[in-house]
A and B are shown apart, each in its own frame.
Chain A
Amino acid sequence: MDPVFLARLQFAITVGFHFIFPPITIGLGWLLVIAETIGWKRGDERFVNLGKFFGKVFALTFAVGVATGIVMEFQFGTNWAEYSKFVGDIFGAPLAAEGVFAFFLESGFLGLYLFGRGRVSKGVHWFSSLMVAVGATISAFWIIVANSWQQTPAGFVVQNGRAELTDFWAAVFNPSTLVRYFHTVDAALITGAFFMAGICAYLLLKKKAVNVAKAGMKIALIFGLIASIPELFPLGHEHAKQVAHTQPEKFAAIEGLYTTQSGAPLVLFGLPSGGIPPELKAPIEIPGMLSWMAFGDVDAEIKGIDSFPKDEVPPLFLTFVSFHTMVGLGMIFIGLTALGVFFMWRGTLWDKNWFLRILVWVIPLPIIACQVGWIAAEVGRQPWIVYGLLKTKDAASVTVGAGEILFSLILFGLIYLFLGAVWIYLLVRKVKHGPDETGSVEAV
């Protein structure tokens, strides 16, 4: 088997599995800050218990996130040694900065937050919840910096056979960093909101700790609505515009634009066929819309897949489908949170069991949206590992054989399946047990 393919598969599985957890903890982290703030400032027991309960859910999720995150820190070196040599002068710094500025903060204060209740003052305890959320959010920044540099490299010169740093801030704030950062962090906020809302909906359906669940539902739905609306516009829109300007191949692939044209249509739905030349089956389009959205002019010409050399075009099916799934899910999130907030405003939410049931079932949807969004971003960059500079096929470790990668792939595949199953099992158990209604300390 092709070692590069195996290395890619392993990277996809390890990063995909890891990326289930950080969006939950980033979103949940901020919701915990809100719960702790209300619990502390108003002395509201419901929010204190909400914080305790979701703090434990957070810890469980965080542990799996950390455990799988270490793999990422090592994997560039183990599997992508040629890449590491080529980009080391630039790519390592954000990873180290993530540790120094963010991960220390998050991990250190998480210990204080989880174990420090009663040992430190309420103010310090509240502060520790804030530092956990801040740390997680800064952490996302440096990771997105590193990945965005792969998408739209800047602030460097290629010499001595590698990319060498010339301008640190240009590399950090490369053309895609900020739009991708806000888009990704907002996705995490949505994920956390649906996570909390779904769990609270379950508790309400089972009539468990109803007052705590109602408190959680309120903040989660309002938070979720506030996060969901800007995710498509302006954040998603601005990101798409950036891709159109800086990575036209990716843009053509995700939007399903196969022939260069002015007045390019926005494809709402379609299925890419694998033929040559590629075409979309059963497309539903809005004429001129894509040109207008990307370049502010309905007649603007946009390059289609036919404009690019065949060996520099990303896979068409996966990028198109994952991108459109993400956009569709984004709309559903706005609809659901808006409906929830509306019911809450009318005071009818607590009786609407059908709606609560939906909220339980949609917990995985934002996680899926994060995954397909990431797939669109990463597969859309192919065949490049660093856009325009280094191809993925030239980036893998030359000293690591296919057999070794297959071994580690199976090893991690099995471990991750197992960890995922245990995480879900413990989560369900924890939720079924539910939070405390009273102020008493829960026995473990």
Chain B
Amino acid sequence: MDLNTIWFILVGVLLIGYTILDGFDLGVGTLHLFARNDEERRINMNAIGPVWDGNEVWLITGGGALFAAFPFVYATVFSGFYLALMLLLTALILRAVSMEFRSKVESGSWRKFWDYCFAIGSFLSALLFGVAFGNVLKGLKIAANFEYQGTFLGLLNPYAILVGLAAVAVIVMHGTTYMTMKTRGDLQERFVSFAGKGWIGFVVLYVVATIATFFAAPELMRGTISSPIFWILFIVFLASLVYHPVALKAKRNFTAFLSSSLVILTLMGICAVGLFPTIVPSSIDPSYSLTIYNASSTDKTLTVMLIIALVGMPLVIGYTYYIYRVFKGEVVITGDSY
């Protein structure tokens, strides 16, 4: 395996890690307005309060790694998605500050305002990530020399929006499953029911999106199905997807959460297998596509970065695991809470 392949996998791991970890934060946020009273809203925010910050770092590190390993992808896609990314950043900003700001003032209208910011910010982030991902799968209008020729409205095509909605459904399923571990009693029951609805919504959207992919990105589909790794991932995907509601019903909430995490991991893995060795296909001409070779940094930089990752990431995973252990279980509102 060459360095470019390793970095394709590592950037993938960071982005999948981000989706699994911040995904449940965004899922909790997306359904935030369905909470019935102030206490439930506080439980939402405090369930993710100690960890959302660390989760978002997966995105920041993923962005940095993409810049370092595949600068031409970073430059072409980020400038190409300009307005969409500005909206995404706005959504992420609102999501981030609203938790911290909300609890500081007791007035009802103040809290309501930040509740809306939190919910809209979370929903919009998930949707836009999904839309961006859908556009990458479908291919972008990239001409020679990585010149992006698309438009903002062109990004809002039906296929990308479909993928965006599927992304929202999967993180709702994932976030509500997370909340079943953080609550009890009636509230927990409601989250189980939300998770079930999220599951149904995701399955429907997933099937529609998969069929649509045959038309929107036939090349991608062909590449995917011919790979043996795809079949392994696909079997794990199906098993996790089927097992998720079973686990929830058996009140094995942590196992259900692992299942929804695996659903995300395998699904993104399948897309990565389909794309490989391309990172961003060109819809104008396949020879203009950004690949792990023509868009990458030098071997020297990839080697240095690999050492950084090998030294740093085990530590990160170690203390992240420890921190999750500390905060596991039901949310208890104390004086230090949001």
Q: How many residues of A contact B (CB 8 A)?
A: 73
Is B60's CB under 8 angstroms from A99's CB? Answer: yes
Is A60's CB under 8 angstroms from B104's CB? Answer: yes
Please, which residue of chain A has its CB at the minimum distance from the CB of B148?
A399
Given the known interface contacts A100-B309, A166-B300, the answer about A78 and B86 at a Cβ–Cβ threshold of 8 Å is: yes
In the complex, chain B residues 79-109 whose Cβ is within 8 Å of any chain A Cβ: 79-83, 85-86, 89-90, 92-93, 96-97, 99-101, 103-105
Is A430's CB under 8 angstroms from B104's CB? Answer: yes
Q: Give complex CA distance A103, B313 in Å.
A: 12
- For A73, give its contact among B60, B99, B320, B335 (CB under 8 Å): B60
Given the known interface contacts A70-B59, A115-B327, the answer about A165 and B300 at a Cβ–Cβ threshold of 8 Å is: yes
Is A115's CB under 8 angstroms from B105's CB? Answer: no
Is B323's CB under 8 angstroms from A108's CB? Answer: yes
Residue B49, interface by CB 8 Å: yes
Contacts of B82 in A (CB 8 A): 78, 397, 399-400, 404, 408
Is A108's CB under 8 angstroms from B319's CB? Answer: yes
Residue B115, interface by CB 8 Å: no
Is B312's CB under 8 angstroms from A77's CB? Answer: no
Residue A67, interface by CB 8 Å: yes
Contacts of B283 in A (CB 8 A): none
For the complex, would chain A's binding face be called helix, strand, loop or mixed by DSSP majority? Answer: helix
Residue A158, interface by CB 8 Å: no
Is A93's CB under 8 angstroms from B301's CB? Answer: yes
Is A77's CB under 8 angstroms from B75's CB? Answer: yes
Residue A246, interface by CB 8 Å: no
Q: Which one of A67, A74, A88, A116 has the highest number of Cβ atoms from chain B below 10 Å of its Cβ?
A: A88
Least CB distance, A320 to chain B, in whole angstroms: 34
Is B93's CB under 8 angstroms from A68's CB? Answer: yes
Least CB distance, A392 to chain B, in whole angstroms: 16
Contacts of B336 in A (CB 8 A): 114-115, 117-118, 441, 444
- For B50, give its contact among A64, A69, A115, A430 (CB under 8 Å): A115
Please, which residue of chain A has its CB at the minimum distance from the CB of B92?
A70
Contacts of B65 in A (CB 8 A): 92, 96, 99
Is B90's CB under 8 angstroms from A415's CB? Answer: yes
- Which residues of B are in contact with A by a Cβ distance under 8 Å? 46, 49-51, 53-54, 56-57, 59-61, 63-69, 71-72, 74-83, 85-86, 89-90, 92-93, 96-97, 99-101, 103-105, 146-149, 152, 297-298, 300-301, 304-305, 308-309, 312-313, 316, 319-320, 323, 326-327, 334-338
- Which residues of A are in contact with B by a Cβ distance under 8 Å? 59-60, 63-64, 66-71, 73-74, 76-79, 81-82, 84-85, 87-93, 95-101, 103-105, 107-112, 114-120, 164-166, 168, 397-400, 404, 407-408, 411-412, 415, 419, 422, 426, 429-430, 441-444
| A-B CB contact pairs (8 Å), 6 listed | A63-B101, A70-B96, A73-B64, A96-B61, A117-B336, A399-B147
